[in-house]
Structure 1
Amino acid sequence: MGVVAGVDSSTQSCTVELRDAQSGRLFGSGRSPHPPTSPPVSEQDPATWWEAFGLALAGALSAAGLTARDVDAVSVAAQCHGLVLLDAHDRVLRPAKLWNDTTSSPQAAALVRDLGTAGWADAVGSVPTAAFTITKLAWVAQHEPALLDATARVLLPHDYLTYRLTGRAVTDRSEASGTGYYAAHEDRYLVDHLNRWVRAGLPWATMLPSVLGPSEAAGTASTPDARALGLRDDVVVGAGAGDQHAGALGIGLAPGQVLYSLGTSGVVMTTSPTPVHDATAWVDGVADAAGGWLPLVCTLNCAKVTDTAARLLGVDHPELTRLALAAPRRADRMVLAAYLDGERSPDRPHARGLLAGLRSDTTREELALAAYEGVVLGLVRGHDAIRAAGAAADGEVVVTGGGARSLAYRQVLADTLGAPVHTRDVDEATARGAAVQAAAVLTDADVRTVRDAWTPATTGVVEPQHAVDADVWRRYRALADARQPDETPE
């Protein structure tokens, strides 16, 4: 028996799962919160990630009845895109700008105007939004130029935690492919992008982490920081991954299957054996954590929309679910463009939520249903975009994440797709996926082999009951595409 630790360092918290390296059996888990953030300025001190990791690891060990000396391998998955700048003494130079920080939207718009959507899609597989690391670097270059002079390393969130464990500046292709300066289909950094849109003349090649393969070890947990956690010096550390990419591993996503991940952000994704380049800017054609590709669409507004609806209606989530499921499905019902904090897909950083179709006889039930449908209709548009970009995305639909616990989300998704929606026996797909990678590097196996062996069982299937009327779609699209007064012209 070997013990592996899978780490999910998300926007809200750090979760650690301890699993058997052979069977994947869960021994115990722990969680510790991160400081809350909210766009447009969404930043966190990376030191808080390390502190939360230590607390979550201690909680998992306690729950499992193990000690840190029992751990044999670790892999870290974390929120994507965030910018971590270190100086030559490994000191963090500023709080990390997170994926949902929208302050670099002017820089993103300038980059897209300069190269064009097709140019970006061809170069890196995706069209940059304010989420992308290159836009955050461009923001720093404009607003805090002295920090670039002091920068020795440019890391992503999971790179930072791996660096503190191993002392090696490494990343993986799934995370690197979301930066805007790594071409995964060519397996190389595009230093010319950094020279052109951030600052020319910096030693970018030495500032960027090495890109590792999905089954390649980053090193061992041999740093003083790792020893302070109680880990042995010979603990193997995986390359890590982005949170959504690790989630696909954890859920056991097979080719052609489609995963809807309902958390703070909403993500719809599928696996692909070949790269996807979408010039419409909807689909991020990123690499996956298994050696292939993971075309995905990410929205900023998902479970926070129903959180807000529950707060405004003064109910808890079970009651919000009950209200939504009891709502009549009339064709002229309210529709919500759920852009509460701006949006990433479509790229609308200055948009806000719009509710249309209010009537004097509107009920609480209909308001609840509009909240769930506003999230789901936006994600299903993303699913359609993935198909249009050429990826096979017509297989079994799986839903995961905190929102998947709500029958209302599952039912509304099944109704909107007109297809069954499956859940699998996994509570923390990202932490589980990181554990898959840790087991692969510990046992010198291909990560795909471990993924398939650990694929969780199906726990439930929700069948469609209420077809979504074409008129609902028509009115939703009109509202979702409406240009708002505070948005700058494209």
Structure 2
Amino acid sequence: MTLVAGVDSSTQSCKVLIVDAASGRVVREGRAAHPDGTAVPPEAWWRALAEAIDAAGGLADVDAIAIGGQQHGMVALDADGRVIRDALLWNDTRSAAAAAALTDELGAAEYARRTGSVPVASFTATKLRWLRDAEPENAARVAAVALPHDWLTWRLRGYGPTGESPLGPVLDELVTDRSDASGTAYFDTARGEYDLELAQLALGRPARAADPSREADPARAAAQPDPTAASAHPTSADSVRFAGIQLPRVLGPAEFRVVDAPIPAIRTLRPGTRVGAGAGDNAAAALGLDARPGDVVVSIGTSGTVFAVSETPVADPSGAVAGFADAAGAFLPLVATLNAARVLDAVARLLGVDHGQLAELALAAAPGAGGVVLQPYFEGERTPNLPDATASLFGLTLASTTRENLARAAVEGMLCGLADGLDAVTRLGVPAASIRLIGGAARSRAVGAVAAQVFGLPVVIPEPGEYVARGAAVQATWVLTGERPSWPLDTWAELAADPRPEVRAQYAAHAVRTA
């Protein structure tokens, strides 16, 4: 049996799956917690990765590994490979003003044309601009900028701070993939390369991509770099000043590096083990779900995301759709909403019921909830961009104010917000043939049934699983065999399309009134 490992280094925790490369069957798994907060020391991720690997029984029998991780976070490194400050995560909003400043300087349409997206506070470029303005002394020390999964991949291969890693701070050994690079706001998604002018616009200093003469080569699996060859990999402050800030090399879906030295923190990891480029979490989840063009993934967690696989790049100057790349060589336009499963949490608390009872109440009401509409902006909203909005109820009459209608309005309102996101994606020419519904709320009977009505498309609800880690394992198998595997997907429920356009029309009427 050939085994691979897939890692999900998310905001909350690190999950490791050891998977049979032939069937996709999970052989064993492990997990470790990450600290809370929106600014986190990356060393905590490294410790959690080692702990989760140990909990999964180690990697001694694993031939390839890849890491999926939270997108956008800023890991700033100095010339000695040390982390300069706690990493700012995707959900750290202190860079909101920096996002607005960058957009004003270049223009939203130009950003969309050059990167596929318009900067928001989650994107790496905005965090670099914040660093430049708020912490200029730290900004002056930056020699390289990595994303969370880039940094973990680098450490896993034996690189890292001077004196704390076997091979030291070889900054041009940093690698990433298209999907995560496309969330920086300085990567041209359509062309598949960095826009160095935009990186410089963010931090105010020149940036450089990796030396193209050192492209990924499978033969490197048999060769290890000489960590003493300092002249080949300059790391002094002077060399950084003149060479520019190092950005990770962008690898393709089947390209890989190898573990170049034994790592004391992970004693079971063998040198020579293949290491995939990794991926951003949504792109890894798409791989784990085996999503193909025409498939739409709707993830309902604390926040909501809608993303679809597209064969062509998209650019949305309105900023509603982020024109990301995927982890398989295509594209992954994405819309995010702030209010998803917690809408159901709030209404369940109001009605004094658990989630199962909330679903029963919702299913007891007719589509349209008797005219009751919940616009679920409990914590403001990102799509549409209404950060100061609050939730509103419309259509209450003596007859319509029932527990059943309130429960149904909560489910419909949450899903209508996500369906508006899908509309924004399809208006850009992206096909949508079916919905794959995942996340904590996906197994609610009411959510599945109403989704088939609101989206008007067939809905597939996979069995609960670690789809980001599974997607990383798909990539690890790909770099091992040279072919993308297509593992069977266990399905919890399938629902036929049951379009009820009156639900969307009712929601839209009130949304226009408050826009």
TM-score relative to the length of structure 1: 0.88
Corresponding residue for residue 295 of structure 1: 333
Secondary structure, aligned partner of 2:250: strand
1:84, distance to aligned residue in structure 2 (A): 1.2
Bigger mean CA offset, 204-213 vs 415-424 = 204-213
1:73 aligns with 2:111: no
TM-align CA RMSD:
2.4
Secondary structure, aligned partner of 1:72: strand
Secondary structure, aligned partner of 1:289: coil
**1:68–1:230 Cα contact (<8 Å) kept:** yes
Bigger mean CA offset, 250-259 vs 88-97 = 88-97
Amino acid at match of 1:195: Q
**2:90–2:123 Cα contact (<8 Å) kept:** yes
Amino acid at match of 1:286: F
Corresponding residue for residue 488 of structure 1: none
Secondary structure, aligned partner of 2:85: coil
Cα offsets for 1:48-79 (capped at 9, x unmatched): 22222223222322xxxxx4312221110011
Amino acid at match of 1:133: T
1:415, distance to aligned residue in structure 2 (A): 1.3
1:208 aligns with 2:204: no
CA 1:374–1:422: 2 relative to 1, 3 Å? same
Q: Distance in 2 between matches of 1:43 and 1:207?
A: 22
**1:329–1:466 Cα contact (<8 Å) kept:** no
1:338, distance to aligned residue in structure 2 (A): 2.9
**2:369–2:405 Cα contact (<8 Å) kept:** no
Corresponding residue for residue 422 of structure 1: 460
1:164 aligns with 2:155: yes
Q: Distance in 2 between matches of 1:340 and 1:222?
A: 50
**2:379–2:389 Cα contact (<8 Å) kept:** yes
1:25 aligns with 2:34: no
Corresponding residue for residue 304 of structure 2: 266
1:172, distance to aligned residue in structure 2 (A): 0.5
**1:191–1:205 Cα contact (<8 Å) kept:** no
Amino acid at match of 1:183: D
CA 1:84–1:308: 2 relative to 1, 3 Å? farther
Corresponding residue for residue 217 of structure 1: 256
Paired residue for 1:382, among 421, 424, 430? 421
Q: Distance in 1 between matches of 2:88 and 2:395?
A: 37
Q: Distance in 2 between matches of 1:214 and 1:129?
A: 27
Q: How does 1:60-459 map to 2 (within 5 A)?
A: 60-61=56-57, 67-166=58-157, 167=159, 168-201=173-206, 205-220=244-259, 222=261, 224=263, 227-330=265-368, 333-358=371-396, 362-393=401-432, 395-425=433-463, 427-443=465-481, 445-446=482-483, 449-450=484-485, 453-459=486-492
1:385, distance to aligned residue in structure 2 (A): 1.0
Q: Distance in 1 between matches of 2:60 and 2:396?
A: 60
**1:272–1:392 Cα contact (<8 Å) kept:** yes
**1:177–1:184 Cα contact (<8 Å) kept:** yes
Bigger mean CA offset, 330-339 vs 230-239 = 330-339
Which runs of no fewer than 5 residues in structure 2 stay unpaired?
160-172, 208-240
Q: Distance in 2 between matches of 1:272 and 1:177?
A: 14
CA 1:257–1:49: 2 relative to 1, 3 Å? same
Q: Distance in 2 between matches of 1:310 and 1:34?
A: 29
**2:205–2:245 Cα contact (<8 Å) kept:** no
Q: Distance in 2 between matches of 1:323 and 1:264?
A: 22
Which runs of no fewer than 5 residues in structure 1 stay unpaired?
62-66, 483-490
Amino acid at match of 2:409: A
**1:164–1:223 Cα contact (<8 Å) kept:** no
Amino acid at match of 1:231: L
**2:39–2:89 Cα contact (<8 Å) kept:** yes
Paired residue for 1:43, among 39, 46, 57? 39
Corresponding residue for residue 52 of structure 1: 48
Q: Distance in 2 between matches of 1:412 and 1:345?
A: 21
Q: Distance in 1 between matches of 2:456 and 2:135?
A: 50
Amino acid at match of 1:120: Y
Bigger mean CA offset, 108-117 vs 128-137 = 108-117
Amino acid at match of 1:22: A
Segments of 4+ moved more than 6 angstroms: none
**2:206–2:245 Cα contact (<8 Å) kept:** no
Larger Rg: 2
Q: Distance in 2 between matches of 1:120 and 1:278?
A: 9
**1:6–1:433 Cα contact (<8 Å) kept:** yes
1:246, distance to aligned residue in structure 2 (A): 0.7
CA 1:349–1:164: 2 relative to 1, 3 Å? farther
Corresponding residue for residue 486 of structure 1: none
Corresponding residue for residue 162 of structure 2: none
Corresponding residue for residue 487 of structure 1: none
1:176, distance to aligned residue in structure 2 (A): 0.3
1:401, distance to aligned residue in structure 2 (A): 2.2
1:109, distance to aligned residue in structure 2 (A): 1.6
**2:457–2:499 Cα contact (<8 Å) kept:** no
Q: Distance in 1 between matches of 2:45 and 2:5?
A: 16
Corresponding residue for residue 236 of structure 2: none
Cα offsets for 1:256-298 (capped at 9, x unmatched): 1211122233121221221111222211111110011111212
1:88, distance to aligned residue in structure 2 (A): 2.6
1:185, distance to aligned residue in structure 2 (A): 1.7
Corresponding residue for residue 475 of structure 1: 509
**2:196–2:206 Cα contact (<8 Å) kept:** no
1:389, distance to aligned residue in structure 2 (A): 0.8
**1:221–1:232 Cα contact (<8 Å) kept:** no
CA 1:95–1:424: 2 relative to 1, 3 Å? same
Bigger mean CA offset, 160-169 vs 45-54 = 45-54
CA 1:310–1:7: 2 relative to 1, 3 Å? farther
Bigger mean CA offset, 250-259 vs 418-427 = 418-427
Q: Distance in 2 between matches of 1:318 and 1:331?
A: 18
Amino acid at match of 1:214: P
Bigger mean CA offset, 248-257 vs 259-268 = 259-268
**1:105–1:349 Cα contact (<8 Å) kept:** no
1:311, distance to aligned residue in structure 2 (A): 4.1
Amino acid at match of 2:263: P
Amino acid at match of 2:53: L
Cα offsets for 1:89-144 (capped at 9, x unmatched): 33322222221222211121222222222211110011111111111111111111
Secondary structure, aligned partner of 1:211: strand
Cα offsets for 1:330-372 (capped at 9, x unmatched): 5654333333334332333444434444556733433333332
1:7 aligns with 2:7: yes
Number of equivalenced pairs:
465
CA 1:23–1:120: 2 relative to 1, 3 Å? same
Amino acid at match of 2:48: A
CA 1:29–1:305: 2 relative to 1, 3 Å? farther
CA 1:57–1:318: 2 relative to 1, 3 Å? farther
